[in-house]
């Protein structure tokens, strides 16, 4: 006996807005090309990339990963609260996600300052050129994601999102998950894999 999605009250629609999906796919394509460039450059200069990785702090990278993934969890929980018509709880969870994202920003800025203080700027070598391009591009996406999280939290606080109207909230949470996904790919490629 099969159970259809309709019989259990589930919708088969794509979450969020179609425009957001196109935007996310375009951004993922850009990140994929940058990661491919990093990988090709690493294949051409493995020793330089191995030495460059030794100058990065993996525990810092792991802390940033946990910060972003936990923020993503909070955003997903916020969406579920909005779907259950609990927008105030959703706003609190989005605020928590925003605080966790601030943790990422603080850690990343500390890492950038440390690297610059040690003369490891963008012009140092190919590894660091690509490191700065990849991580700074991602950093800009995190900052945009934080603006979106703040906007969504305010929207929930003002009860713009609820059980019947949450497509905009879905789109914003989808964007944040894209930011998470990209970092989950960047962390091992940049910090770990030789």
HEC readout, the chain: CCCCCHHHCCCCCCCCCHHHHHHHHHHHHHHHHHHHHHHHHHHHCHHHHHHHHHCCCHHHHHHHHHHHHHHHHHHHHHHHHHHCCCHHHHHHHHHHHHHHHHHHHHHHHHHHHHHHHCCCCCCCCHHHHHHHHHHHHHHHHHHHHHHHHHHHHHHHHCCCCCCCCCHHHHHHHHHHHHHHHHHHHHHHHHHHCC
Q: Lowest mean pLDDT: which of 114-123, 145-154, 162-171?
A: 162-171
Range 101-108 average pLDDT: 97
HSE-CB at 1 with a 13 A cutoff on CA atoms is: 2
The more confident residue out of 77 and 15 is 77
The reported pLDDT for the residue numbered 160 is 82
pLDDT band (50, 70, 90) for residue 193: confident
The pLDDT assigned to 8 comes to 47
- pLDDT higher than threshold 60 for residue 5: no
Q: pLDDT category, 162, cuts 50, 70, 90?
A: low
Lowest mean pLDDT among 104-108, 146-150, 161-165: 161-165
**What pLDDT shows up at residue 183?**
96
For residue 104, pLDDT beyond 90: yes
- Residue 85 contacts residue 52 (beta carbons within 8 Å): no
Whether the predicted pLDDT of 164 surpasses 90: no
Task: Kindly indicate the confidence band of residue 131, based on its pLDDT and cuts at 50, 70 and 90.
Answer: very high
pLDDT at 10: 53
pLDDT given for residue 42 in this prediction: 96
pTM: 0.87
């Amino acid at each position: 006996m099969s159970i259809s999605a309709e019989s259990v009250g589930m919708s088969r629609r794509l979450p969020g807005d179609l425009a957001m999906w196109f935007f996310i796919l375009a951004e993922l394509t850009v990140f994929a090309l940058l990661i491919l460039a990093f990988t090709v450059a690493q294949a051409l200069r493995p020793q330089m990339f191995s030495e460059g990785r030794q100058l990065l702090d993996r525990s810092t990278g792991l802390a940033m990963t946990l910060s972003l993934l936990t923020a993503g969890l909070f955003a997903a929980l916020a969406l579920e609260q909005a779907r259950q018509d609990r927008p105030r709880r959703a706003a609190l969870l989005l605020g928590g996600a925003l605080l966790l994202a601030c943790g990422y920003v603080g850690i990343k800025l500390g890492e950038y300052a440390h690297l610059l203080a040690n003369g490891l700027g963008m012009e140092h070598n190919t590894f660091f050129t690509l490191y700065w391009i990849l991580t700074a591009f991602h950093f800009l996406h995190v900052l945009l994601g934080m603006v979106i999280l703040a906007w969504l939290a305010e929207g929930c606080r003002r009860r713009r999102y609820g059980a019947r109207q949450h497509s905009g909230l879905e789109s914003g949470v989808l964007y944040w998950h894209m930011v998470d996904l990209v970092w989950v790919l960047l962390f091992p490629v940049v910090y770990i894999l030789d």
